[in-house]
Amino acid sequence: MNSIIETRNVCKYYEVGDTTVKALDGVDIKIREGEFVSIIGQSGSGKTTLLDVISCLLRPTKGEVLIEDKPISKMNDNELAQVRGKTIGFVFQSFNLLPRLNCIENVALPLWFQDVEKKEREERAITLLKKVGLEDRMLHKPTELSGGQKQRVAIARALAVNPRIIVADEPTGNLDSASGQQILETLIDLHEKHGKTIVMVTHEKYIAEHAERIISIKDGRIDSDVKNGNRRKLKKELTK
């Protein structure tokens, strides 16, 4: 399989007073199409910064990021927005749903930005909400949903433009055990049955072990990058 994401000596620096903070300090990774990769690390390790860089939300200070073999350093802001809008689907810990919109409208929103007709937007949103098991919550607003239901809406929204890559930042972080299990089951299904490339950030080893490859980051550098030969199987509960 070809690499769908690649970083070459990627660095991301921030100036804090007289100090240079090296959030990323020379990161080289390749993620092949169809892989399920976990990026794990403690708070402040650089894992979320790495996810933001490879998903085109941040430009690196130095180095290069390639998405589908295309270097993002050569893209203008509009071109980057197109990559984010068509190639990458985002799932955030905080859900990022619009409170005034119902589930159908939240899921259909990315299609509005792609100038898809209203009828097609709604039909696609309904299909995706059924796929994530929310056919009985389609007209509900986020305030009327549980945390797990909100995250499933967010996953449906991420799938709206049929992206090749799904990036998930602590997708189970705000959820109870049962809801977290449902979200992991959904991500695994997207990977195994639909061939999506999944890149998931977590600080929990137990969650990371559901991926087929685990990248550990520490102090802005890759600490380890291993195939997960003993991939953990889902149980009834994620944690006791």
For the chain, percent of residues with pLDDT exceeding 90: 65
Contact 91, 151 (CB under 8 A): yes
State the pLDDT confidence band at 234, using cuts at 50, 70 and 90.
low
> What confidence score (pLDDT) does residue 236 get?
45
The more confident residue out of 47 and 235 is 47
DSSP string, 203-237: S-HHHHTTSSEEEEEETTEEEEEEE-TTPPPP-S-
pLDDT at 237: 44
The CATH number of the structural domain formed by 1-87+203-230 is 3.40.50.300
What is the pLDDT at residue 240? 40
Distance CA 198, CA 224 (A): 19
Query: What residue spans define the domains of the chain?
Result: 1-87+203-230
- Average pLDDT score over residue span 18-29: 94
Q: Which residue has the higher pLDDT, 240 or 150?
A: 150
Other beta carbons within 10 angstroms of residue 233's beta carbon come to 8
pLDDT beyond 90 at 230: no
Instruction: Report if pTM > 0.85.
Output: yes
Q: What was the pLDDT predicted at 198?
A: 96
What pLDDT, on the 0 to 100 scale, is given for residue 94? 83
Q: CA–CA separation, 229 vs 168, rounded Å?
A: 22
The 10s digit of each residue's pLDDT in 185-227 is 889 999 998 899 999 999 888 889 999 999 999 999 999 999 9
3-class DSSP assignment, residue 152: helix
Span 166-187, pLDDT tens digits:
999 998 888 888 888 888 888 9
Average pLDDT over residues 80-108: 91
Q: Token pair of 74, please?
A: 């050569």
**Location of structure tokens 């550990």:** 216
pLDDT at 1: 57
pLDDT at 182: 85
